[in-house]
Amino acid sequence: MLKKTSILLFPLLAYKIDKCYVLIAQASMGSIQKKPHVLCIPAPAQGHINPMLKVAKILHSKGFHITFVNTEFNHQRLLKSQGSDALHGLPSFCFESIPDGLPPPENPDATQDVPSLCKSVDGTCLGPFKSLLTKLNASSSPVTCIVADVLMGFTYDAATEFDIPEIVLWTSGVSSLMCLHEYPNLLERGLMPKESGVLEDGYLDTTIDCLPTMPGIRLKDMVSFFRNTNPGDEYMIQFLCVQVERAKRASAVIFNTFHELESELLEMLGSIFPPCYEIGPLNLLEKILVDESVSSLKSNLWKEDHECLKWLDSKPPSSVIYVNFGSITVMTHQHLVEFCWGLAKSNYSFLWIIRPDLVVDNSAMLPPEFLEETNIRGMLASWCPQEQVLNHPSIGGFLTHSGWNSTLESISSGVPMISWPFFGDQQPNCWSCCNKWEVAMEIDNDVKREEVAKLVIELMNGERGTELRKNAIDLKNRAEKACASPFGSSIVNLDKKLHHSTSHTRTLDLASFRSYILLALTDSCPFPETNVGHLNSNPLRIPAPPFYLSGPTFGDAEIDRASLKIGEKIASGSCGDLCECEEGCDRDNLFLCMGLL
């Protein structure tokens, strides 16, 4: 008998029962089963809100009820930048907020100090978060799973108390997680800087030879807080190491990356952390999976200037260098001036995003002579829809801080980069881009206009720039393949990784059942394999359970019987009673008889 339950293809959430992971799934429209309720809580910074909202929208489009939790400060910023109706949400996609414990800043549009924010959130948010969980659990749709940014480690304590499974979202590149995991080892070996003098004596150029899969990485390429030379560095490194240890106790860790980009690191960390699932690039997955009901929900804390897109329309293909140092980077006025005249000397058109708080002491005043000289070929804006900009045909390169979102969005667009990392994970991101993937060139921290001009010219029209662009386009194609429906690696990743479950629901619709049989005999089978025989001296590959696919479904017993029959009959080259032939047939005819071709 066919089961009536329909399980969706993109199962993201798992909860633990008797030490077994059971997939949470939506019932079909005709079922009385309630939607599972997922609470998503990002760290309170632009680069963390963006990927978490994408995860939430993807889950909603796959049938989950969503509660998205911002800090009160960022909730108000979103209302200001997106409009008063921006956070009304839907009956099944709601927004909530909790206080961050900090007093309101003098400049409501300025990015909050990261160490102060992390310290306050970690010390004060647990109580308000537990109160929110109590309120939600008293509703008709209690929370069934929490998806939390790794920096929001306090949520693990609440999840444990409320007996709710938690999945951690790692929003940076996997290389930064490896750096943090290895920090105690590096500290024990005496490799970490202890005083500010190392910034000038060349010590940061020391090569680290003990980081797995990261040969040739230097101290300067490690997470910036390792240097312990700035106020807040010591707190941040201890804070991050604590959050990494907390993440090891979560039900799972999900990454905004794709397997081919960071396969070695992912495989290595997979033996250290809970089940690790790479489900990115989220910006591509969002385009494929998110439905119209939530596609309009935005996460930018600054109002976007769409006039820059019209300006780009007037420019030739691959003729514009896009400049954006992200949501947290700050620079000195002298750095600003050097970038100005470097762009001017390159003679290339540029689109430059300059936040109001980009320069220390809010002194982002551009030289009048620079504005006059670049009036025709320069466009300035305070914020922009970056994904649209990077995908615009006129963009030929990206001068970036190497934040992870910007890195993935540039790779997904096939755009090569010039990297000027500022802090945190941006240094290892830059190292990966320049040394592992060869899609970027690094600019010195003490930026000079001559170097800016030289690198822009090389990126836009030089031999090295051509190589970087070719590599970027190759990675773009690989990223698109990872997100291609229905069997891209990022889409099927959770199904593939959860094969260890001993307690789960397996369902398979007829169309997917046919695809399953065909995939069983190909080298592209994305599922865990069970070898059940040979045909013409070739191994017969039947995907092992679990299955989570859509439509009217076959239940466990039907799948078990069918798998066994297929294994036996196809291996023997006979259709037997799998089709309506009176006589046995070869494999191709068998597929025809079964209606699989």
Which tokens go with 297? 């929900």
Q: What is the 3-state secondary structure (H, E, C) of 85-141?
A: CCCCCECCEEEEEECCCCCCCCCCCCCCCHHHHHHHHHHHCHHHHHHHHHHHHCCCC
- C-alpha to C-alpha distance for 350 and 341, rounded to whole angstroms: 12
Between CA 565 and CA 544 the distance in angstroms is 14
Q: What element of type H or E holds 453? A: helix 449-461
DSSP strand pairing (145-149 vs 93-98): unpaired
In this structure, are residues 507 and 542 in contact, taking their beta carbons and an 8 Å threshold?
no
Catalytic residues: 48, 149
Q: Are 335 and 399 in contact (CB under 8 A)?
A: no
CA dihedral 198, 199, 201, 202 (to 10 degrees): 100
3-class secondary-structure state, position 400: strand
CA 210 to chain centre: 27
- What's the rounded Cα separation, in Å, for the pair 311 and 307? 6
Between the CA atoms of 173, 174, 180 and 184, what dihedral angle is there, to the nearest 10 degrees?
Answer: -160
